[in-house]
Amino acid sequence: MTTYKDFVGELTANYRRTTRPTVQITHSKVAADFIRPYFDYVMDDHEEAKVIHVNHENMIVNVHHVSSGTDTATLIPVKTIIRDAILIKTTGIILVHNHPSGQTRFSKADIDISKKVETACSYFDIRFLDSMILTRESYRSMRDEGLL
C-alpha cells in the first residue's frame, strides 16, 4: 500500500476581455440568432447546453459550453454555471440548449432546471435573463412565455 502526502495547491484564473463586447441582448431573438452558430455541428445530433454571459448592459462577454448529452437529454450542472458566472464576473446569464428532435416544447425537466438555476443566480445577484430551446428552424424562450 502506498501513502501519498496531501498537498494543497492553488489555481488562479484571470479573465480579461480581448475585444470590446459588440453584441447587446435586447430580445430573445437576438440571443437565438447569436448563439445558433455555436450549435451548428451538433444541432441535429445530440443535446448540448451553453450559457451566454452578459455584463450590466447586456453586452455578451462570453459563451460557455456547459454540457453535452444524448439525443434526448443533457445534464445541467447548476454549480458549474454559477461558479463560472462568478469567476468571469458577469452580471447576467442566458441558458440555452438545443432539441435535436426539432420540437420547441419545454419539458417539465427543462422548466424545473431553469427555475433551479434562477434560484441559484438570485443568491449571488446574478440576473437570470432567460432559458431557451434552440432548433435549426426555430427557438423558444421561457421569459417570453412568462415561465420565468
**CATH number of the domain residue 48 falls in:** 3.40.140.10
CB-hemisphere CA count at 13 Å for 142?
24
Q: Are 138 and 105 in contact (CB under 8 A)?
A: no
Domain range spanning residue 111? 28-141
Q: Is residue 3 part of a domain?
A: no
| pLDDT tens-place string over residues 45-83 | 999 999 999 999 999 999 999 999 898 889 999 999 999
| pLDDT tens-place string over residues 1-47 | 455 555 556 666 666 666 676 889 999 999 999 999 999 999 999 99
CA distances from 79 to 72, 94, 117 (A): 22, 15, 9
C-alpha cell at 146: 412568462
Q: Is residue 60 part of a domain?
A: yes
Q: Are 64 and 84 in contact (CB under 8 A)?
A: yes
The pLDDT score that the predictor gives to residue 1 is 47
Average pLDDT over residues 93-114: 94
Q: Is residue 5 part of a domain?
A: no
